[in-house]
Amino acid sequence: MRIILNKDVQIIPDSISIDGLLEHLNIEIKYIAIEVNQKIVPKSEYDTFNLKENDNVEIINAVGGG
Amino acid sequence: MSKLIINDKSYNSRLIVGTGKYKDLTETKQAILNSGAEMVTVAIRRMNIGQDKSLPNLLDYLDPKIFTILPNTAGCYNAKDAVRTCQLAAEILEGEKLVKLEVLGDDKTLYPNVTETLKAAEQLVKDDFKIMVYTTDDHIIAKELENIGCISIMPLASPIGSGLGIQNEYNLLTIKENSTVPIIVDAGVGTASDASKVMELGCDGVLMNTAIACAKDPLLMATAMKKAVESGYDAYHAGRIPKKFHASASSPKEGNVCD
Mutate to test the interface with A, among B53, B61, B92 (most CBs of A within 10 A): B92
* Complex-level ipTM: 0.94
SS3 content of chain A, % helix, strand, coil (to 5): 15, 40, 40
Query: Count of CB contacts below 8 A, A vs B?
Result: 99
B51: pLDDT confidence band, cut at 50, 70 and 90? low
> Comparing C-alpha atoms, which of B168, B202, B171, B205 is closest to residue B186?
B205
B42: pLDDT confidence band, cut at 50, 70 and 90? very high
Q: Where are any strands of DSSP class E within chain B?
A: 4-6, 9-11, 15-18, 39-46, 68-71, 98-101, 130-135, 152-155, 184-186, 205-208
d(Cα B225, Cα B212) in Å, to the nearest integer?
Answer: 8
Q: How far is B43 from chain A (nearest CA, A)?
A: 5
A15: pLDDT confidence band, cut at 50, 70 and 90? confident
**Percent of chain B with pLDDT strictly greater than 90:** 93
Identity of residue B227: K
The overall average pLDDT reported for chain B is 95
> Comparing C-alpha atoms, which of B27, B75, B1 is closest to residue B226?
B1
Q: Is residue A34 part of a domain?
A: yes
Q: What is the pLDDT of residue A31?
A: 93
Q: What is the mean pLDDT of residues B228-253?
A: 95
Q: Is residue A66 part of a domain?
A: no
Whether B40 shows a pLDDT value over 70: the answer reads yes
Q: What is the mean pLDDT of residues B222-230?
A: 98
B235: pLDDT confidence band, cut at 50, 70 and 90? very high
Q: Is residue A8 part of a domain?
A: yes
Residue B58's closest chain A neighbor by CA?
A: A63
Q: Is residue A40 part of a domain?
A: yes
Q: Is residue A13 part of a domain?
A: yes
Q: What is the mean pLDDT of residues B239-250?
A: 94
Q: What is the pLDDT of residue B57?
A: 85
Q: What is the pLDDT of residue B1?
A: 85
Residue A37: give its domain's CATH number: 3.10.20.30
The overall average pLDDT reported for chain A is 94
Set of chain B residues whose Cβ sits within 8 Å of the Cβ of A37:
none
Q: What is the pLDDT of residue B54?
A: 62
**B100 counts as catalytic:** yes
Could you read off the pLDDT of B55-87 as tens digits, one per residue? Answer: 678 998 899 999 999 999 999 999 999 999 999
Please pick, among B3, B21, B100, B143, the residue that the annotation labels catalytic: B100
Set of chain B residues whose Cβ sits within 8 Å of the Cβ of A35:
88
Domain count, chain A: 1
Whether A58 shows a pLDDT value over 70: the answer reads yes
Mutate to test the interface with A, among B35, B76, B88, B102 (most CBs of A within 10 A): B88
Whether B9 shows a pLDDT value over 80: the answer reads yes
Which domain, by its residues, includes A46? 2-61
Whether B52 shows a pLDDT value over 80: the answer reads no
Q: What is the pLDDT of residue B78?
A: 98
Q: Is residue A21 part of a domain?
A: yes
- Beta-carbon separation of A62 and B59 below 8 A: yes
What do you get for the CA distance between the two ends of chain A, in Å? 38
Q: Is residue A7 part of a domain?
A: yes
Could you read off the pLDDT of A20-43 as tens digits, one per residue? Answer: 999 999 998 889 999 999 999 999
Q: Is residue A48 part of a domain?
A: yes
Backbone angles phi, psi at B193, to 5 degrees: -65, -30
Could you read off the pLDDT of B123-146 as tens digits, one per residue? Answer: 999 999 999 999 999 999 999 999
> Comparing C-alpha atoms, which of B57, B53, B59 is closest to residue A26?
B53
**Percent of chain A with pLDDT strictly greater than 70:** 100
Q: What is the pLDDT of residue B72?
A: 98
* B22 closest CB neighbour out of A25, A32, A64: A64
